[in-house]
């Protein structure tokens, strides 16, 4: 079993596990930084699936000539995640300065 070749299903399983762990982390964490880590896990799980679908493992099959589409989409998601992290951390720091906590349950006064 340890000498078996790695297939695309291995990448998809790892990506799905990362996605589910991120979703559970977002749903259960009360700390804003924990929620941000969950969002990053979700985005990285999706990125792994994009890269797996654009990989050489599928390009060997003549009906799946995808090229670099998966890698380009993953690059855009990485840029989006970096921008999201910068804005979210600025919001968290501002919230911490006002409330001396990063507990998301205390953020009820942000409702418009």
Instruction: Give 55-79 pLDDT, tens digit per residue.
Output: 776 666 666 555 667 778 888 888 9
Distance in angstroms (rounded) separating the CA atoms of residues 35 and 41: 10
The number of folded domains in the chain is 1
Q: Which domain holds residue 56?
A: 9-100
Cβ–Cβ under 8 Å, residues 28 and 66: no
CATH of the domain at 14: 1.10.287.3510
Using CA atoms, how far apart are residues 48 and 62, in angstroms rounded to an integer?
22
Q: Measured between alpha carbons, how far apart are the two ends of the chain, in Å?
A: 56
Contact yes or no for 40/85 (Cβ under 8 A)? yes
Q: Does residue 74 form part of some domain? A: yes
Which band of pLDDT confidence, cut at 50, 70 and 90, is reported for residue 42?
very high
Model confidence at 92: pLDDT above 90: no
Q: What is the pTM of this model?
A: 0.78
Can you give the pLDDT at residue 71? 79
Distance of alpha carbon 106 from alpha carbon 9, whole angstroms: 42
């Amino acid at each position: 079993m340890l000498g078996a070749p790695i297939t695309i299903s291995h990448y998809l399983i790892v990506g799905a596990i990362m996605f589910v762990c991120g979703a559970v982390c977002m749903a259960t964490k009360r700390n804003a930084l924990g929620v941000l880590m969950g969002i990053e896990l979700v985005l990285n799980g999706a990125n792994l699936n994009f890269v797996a679908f654009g990989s050489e493992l599928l390009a060997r099959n003549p009906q799946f000539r995808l090229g670099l589409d998966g890698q380009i989409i993953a690059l855009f998601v990485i840029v989006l995640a970096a921008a999201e992290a910068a804005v979210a951390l600025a919001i968290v720091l501002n919230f911490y300065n006002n409330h001396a906590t990063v507990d998301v349950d205390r953020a009820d006064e942000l409702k418009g």
